[in-house]
Amino acid sequence: METKIFSKDQLDDAVKLLKRGELVAFPTETVYGLGALATDEVAVKNVYAAKGRPSDNPLIVTVSNPEMMARYVTQIPEVAEKLINQFWPGPLTIILKVKEGALPNAVTGGLTTAAFRNPQDKLTQELISKLDAPIVGPSANTSTKPSPTTAEHVFHDLNGKIAGIVDNGPTEIGLESTIIDLSVETPVVLRPGEITPEQLSEALGQAVLMNKGTTQTKGVPKAPGMKYRHYAPSAPVYIVDDVKDFEKIVYNNQVGVAALSNVLKNIEANNTFNLGENIDEAAHNLFGALRYFDEQKNIKKIYVQGFQQGDISAAYMNRLTKAAAGHHYFNK
Ligand code: AMP
Ligand code: MG
């Protein structure tokens, strides 16, 4: 299959393909999503196949407004209304109870809840509005690889496996949305993102919990995707928490280093990726850096700067820890 790239004036072609049950990747402010009509079970199953994603890992349902979401949920509780008013459209995914049979099992993974997101990207808003139906939106990468932050990343992973990609340039944030479960009594953040637990708790006027473990009672994962290895380049990744440690590493061409420009300028490394000037830029560039080194077949180790400060540092460290399988420079 030929994977077509659509620019902003070719949205109607993308809509036609989605209507026919084809897969089309779409831009958001976080990462590129892999779209398929959420009501079309066969199309949704093809998303799992294209990504190589385990089928018990449910998908996010992407809507163009809260009214579209209302068609599928049992109700919109007050907590959801508060968060929608403050953060939608934006990088926040909310989990709500769904009407029985409203969405295919392939979307929900057989759960009685579903995850809903309303992204900011204007092209994607228009695409879903024209379709007048939600699309599923897992990240448009091969499962376990870093999420795609450009149309080129999507093309690299899924060329020949999907019908098209709507290209709206690099994504702004570069890390996936915050996910909050509102189907339980006390809201729980299942995945950290740019919107922090503090912001959520302030908007709600109540405490929110952070999902620390990955499993619920009886071993059923709360956010099932969390049990899988993620974002992992082929070579091992190590987190460097203390910038002074960058001076102790022995560098050669087989060692990749991703750090801020002020760190890189002080070290002798020759195979580097500049993460930018600050933590926000580093978050924006992290997945691109992991992909950059993954393209180099002779690379043996990848060292990536860790961050403890900044609103997005929890999300950044969450993704980096998964890529590094928990390995830090100091305890490698
Ligand atoms: P991705 O689609 O790759 O951005 O990942 C979406 C994340 O949302 C995965 O970790 C899913 O397991 C999780 N997710 C989707 N739907 C639900 C749900 N109903 N309950 C809990 N987690 C969910
Ligand atoms: Mg993903």
How far is Cα 205 from Cα 57, in angstroms, rounded to an integer?
31
Is the pLDDT at 34 greater than 50? The verdict is yes
> Is the distance from the beta carbon of residue 135 to the nearest atom of ligand 1 less than 6 Å?
no
Q: Which ligand is nearest to the CA of 110?
A: 1
Kindly state the DSSP code that residue 246 receives in the 8-state scheme.
G
Answer yes or no: is pLDDT of 27 > 60: yes
Q: What is the mean pLDDT of residues 165-185?
A: 98
**What per-residue confidence (pLDDT) applies to 31?**
98
The verdict on the CB of residue 255 being under 6 Å from ligand 1 is no
Given the CA of residue 53, which atom of ligand 1 is nearest to it?
3
Give nearest CA residue, ligand 1 atom 23: 223
Q: Which residue's CA lies nearest to atom 5 of ligand 1?
A: 138
Beta strands 178-181 and 92-97 are: parallel
207-265 pLDDT tens trace? 999 986 544 434 444 554 555 567 888 899 999 999 999 999 999 999 999 999 999 99
Tell me if 189 sits within 8 A of 180, measured CB to CB.
yes
Q: Which domains does the chain have, with CATH numbers?
A: 4-221 (3.90.870.10), 237-323 (3.40.50.11030)
Where residue 150 falls (left for φ over 0; alpha for ψ -120 to 50; beta otherwise) is: beta
What's the mean pLDDT in 11-24?
A: 98
